[in-house]
Structure 1
């Protein structure tokens, strides 16, 4: 690995979309075109770290072919494999683990904080939510990768949804998994694959998760939110970085998400039952 990847440039002063493009280029340069599972928005990683830019770590792992798909909201719906994944994630956050706690970005979580878990073949993921912050974890036979942070604005969302993490089998297409938070305005959340196919997310207690039905998700994929009347209330690209479509303000008019200069919208409240 060359010096650029050992000491990549900081991205904190770059626009989010530009930072995402740099991060994608570094990953593509480091690993070539070999099939892999791309982790998105991981902040700290226990294994297989390829590049760290401005505190954001990204993991690439060999893709699996088993098409079995499971999304379970909370712990009561989880199957044995997902319960094992929760244990593996919690283990990877313990002190003295490779890349493990204590770290400034780590949030202390437990099994009772599991908002959802998903599985596609041997690739599994868990989203932990609690009043302090969130942790997200991916598990494969090759190891576990974890990341998260304390809430900068726990009670508010950048619009109807906030994507906290996900995976894709290829850099900008393939099969995907997505996890995050959702506002009470959202009655249905759909991933439009970009080819006419769709996958609907499961929503429960302020969290959402989905695993695409197949590997047909394209670079034009969009997450679309609908209210209870069936009206579209939000649409945003999944693959084009993590740039928000707008800036979002709190009730006092202070921008809490996004970049100044965009068309700002009111942030959505987040009201889970803790």
Structure 2
């Protein structure tokens, strides 16, 4: 690139015309034109960023509940992928013999709402569940998964049986800096359950049921954290009422058809005669 441009010799031009030509050429060769171009580009980029911000700011985290892998939204697919990665990392760090190896086709329930997400995987050997948080960055709109928890285990002979009409396999609550907390619960229901709700005496939120599985999303502006899970049979009769988030250890036990204790664990020390009969899973 030419940094300095000297005008041609005036030769035989009249002095006044030669002076004007020299001034014009020197003025055109100065870098102020390039600075103006750069400013114009910067202004264009600023406008583009402003448009991007305007387009991203209204974006809201989705509220979606899927019962099975074929119902996953694009954001829930990212949640499932993240949970599978968490399962792999867990296996790398510690022995997880009781937690089954799972794939995306094993998704039984996946849900997201107000920045919290949960996924439950179920196999013949056991289950694995993962909760996480969702964040949207302004400007670039990148979704990030951070935090959350993991749980899982084998059925220990209880694959086809439940400790009562409803078995919560994982629950979670996200408390944002502002606004109501978001609660999520996933699990299994017995063949007797036709309807499942969360209620607090004033408000009621319906859970979704399919193939013996359930998923429930609710904010504390919809039902209180201290609410209860209430199950009804096909005739509308109440068959179960339990806290959404139990505060005390449950000392009950449940037995299978042969009298063997299935829940909470086959090694439960209580006498089998005091246990309740386990209920068949309605899958």
Q: Give TM-score, length-normalised by structure 2.
A: 0.64
Higher RCO, 1 vs 2 (CA within 8 Å, ≥6 residues apart): 1
Partners of 2:100 and 2:154 within 8 A in 1: yes
Does structure 1 residue 70 correspond to structure 2 residue 70? Answer: no
Task: Summarize the Cα distance change of 1:245–1:103 in structure 2 as closer, same or farther, 3 Å threshold.
Answer: closer
State how far apart, in whole Å, the 2-side matches of 1:242 and 1:78 are. Answer: 35
Shift of 1:101: 6.2
| Alignment-derived partner of residue 188 in structure 1 | 195
Shift of 1:263: 5.4
Aligned residues: 203
| Alignment-derived partner of residue 228 in structure 1 | 234
Q: Which 5+ residue runs of structure 1 have no aligned equivalent?
A: 1-65
Higher normalized strand content (fraction of residues): 1
The one of 148, 155, 171 aligned to 1:151: 155
| Structure 1 segment 98-247 matched on structure 2, within 5 A | 102-140=95-133, 141-143=145-147, 145-152=149-156, 153-169=158-174, 174-192=181-199, 194-241=200-247, 243-244=249-250, 246-247=252-253
Shift of 1:78: 1.4
Cα RMSD for the two superposed structures: 2.6
State how far apart, in whole Å, the 2-side matches of 1:200 and 1:228 are. Answer: 15
Q: Give TM-score, length-normalised by structure 1.
A: 0.66
Partners of 1:174 and 1:216 within 8 A in 2: no
State how far apart, in whole Å, the 1-side matches of 2:248 and 2:113 are. Answer: 23
**Larger Cα-atom Rg:** 2
Shift of 1:155: 1.5
Task: Summarize the Cα distance change of 1:88–1:101 in structure 2 as closer, same or farther, 3 Å threshold.
Answer: farther
- Where do 4+ consecutive residues of structure 1 move more than 6 Å? none
- Superposed CA deviations along residues 146-174 of structure 1, whole A, max 9, x for unmatched, are 3211112212100111100011235xx94
Does structure 1 residue 270 correspond to structure 2 residue 281? Answer: yes
Q: Which 5+ residue runs of structure 2 have no aligned equivalent?
A: 1-59, 134-144
Higher normalized helix content (fraction of residues): 2
